[in-house]
Amino acid sequence: MIEEMSQAVGYQDAGRRTRAFAVLNPRSGSCTVSDVREAIGRHLAGIEIEVHEVSDGDDVRSLVLSALGRGCDPVIAAGGDGTVSSVADALVGSSAHLIVFPLGTANVLARELGIPVELEGACQLGAHRFREGSLAGERHAVAVIDAMRIENRHYFTQVGVGIDALMIRDTAAEHKRRFGRIAYLWTALTRLIGFQPRRFTLTVDGRRLDLKASQVLVANTGMMGQPPFRWGPDIRPDDGRVDVCIARARSIVDYSKLLWHVLRSSHGKSPNLRYEVASRSVVIDAKHPLPIQADGEILGPTPVRIEVVPRALRVVVPVAG
């Protein structure tokens, strides 16, 4: 569970006018633009909200920073994990709050934080941030979560090298829209065939590890994309550290055993899984360059250096329990 960092009793201070900025990705597949705009208008009526529909070539970071400069807070990210990550990156180092409307295929951060993945529920949660007294007994919390910095960009869920990056790279956007998470699973199965462990060099908080692995994943969140699948039982986005998950499997039998332990939440008993913990940095290098994914986006080939940034982002979440 995410620690509740503060309870909200209403966002509008006396004499202060609330303004919000929303980044809407029209290419996210679960809802149409008109659906999202209609839901925002219905749940957030009377709130001044600037809505920007993202198009090719837009610099989301600059758009969000400009909105913050105009006094907009909170900022709404309406889209998939990539959109949420881009918006959140611009909020690191500010006091602004992020509201997530999950519209993508996996919605990893939303699921990790307990944010409703249905548009109506997410809008209702967002409305709690603005209303004062109109929703008696209904409050929200603010989770303060960590980030992972790669060069000048921050990421918030997972950075992976191996099967997950190949799956993300090779799943067509059209297939994601038509088949959702099944498209990812199908691609992953096809990439598993014949995939053998690769040689990696990891540097975890300055300690060097030479090993073979099918997958190396640096996890700020544990959710794989769909409950109850998790990369590990004790991975939290608010504990000031990241967990390095190392999987080694050679055959379908090995992967089946690994999946069995994941389903039973007995990760520590799997001979195919190994864990390391980092509070400062992780460097991943491979003997032969492999693609890197971060928050569901392909970055390029290895090597990659990941720095831990504690307490980097404020996110509006439901009250636990």
pLDDT tens-digit map of 191-213: 666 667 899 999 999 999 999 99
Contact partners, residue 25, CB within 8 Å, separation at least 6: 53, 54, 78, 79, 80, 82, 83, 103
Computed from CA positions of residues 130, 55, 33, 117, in that sequence, does the dihedral angle turn out positive or negative? negative
Per mean pLDDT, which range of 113-127, 250-264, 291-305 is the poorest? 250-264
Say what the pTM is. Answer: 0.85
Asked whether the predicted pLDDT for residue 215 surpasses 50, the reply is yes
* Dihedral over Cα of 306, 308, 313, 318: its sign: positive
The CATH number of domain 19-145+314-318, selected from 3.30.70.260, 3.40.50.300, 3.40.640.10, 3.40.50.10330: 3.40.50.10330
**Residues facing residue 204 across a β-bridge:** 207, 282
- Say which CATH class 154-311 falls into: mainly beta
Residues 259-273: pLDDT tens digits?
655 665 666 667 788
DSSP string, 68-128: HHTT--SEEEEESHHHHHHHHHHHTTSS-EEEEEE-SSS-HHHHHHT--SSHHHHHHHHHH
Does the pLDDT value for residue 134 go beyond 50?
A: no
Could you tell me the residue ranges of all domains in the chain? 19-145+314-318, 154-311
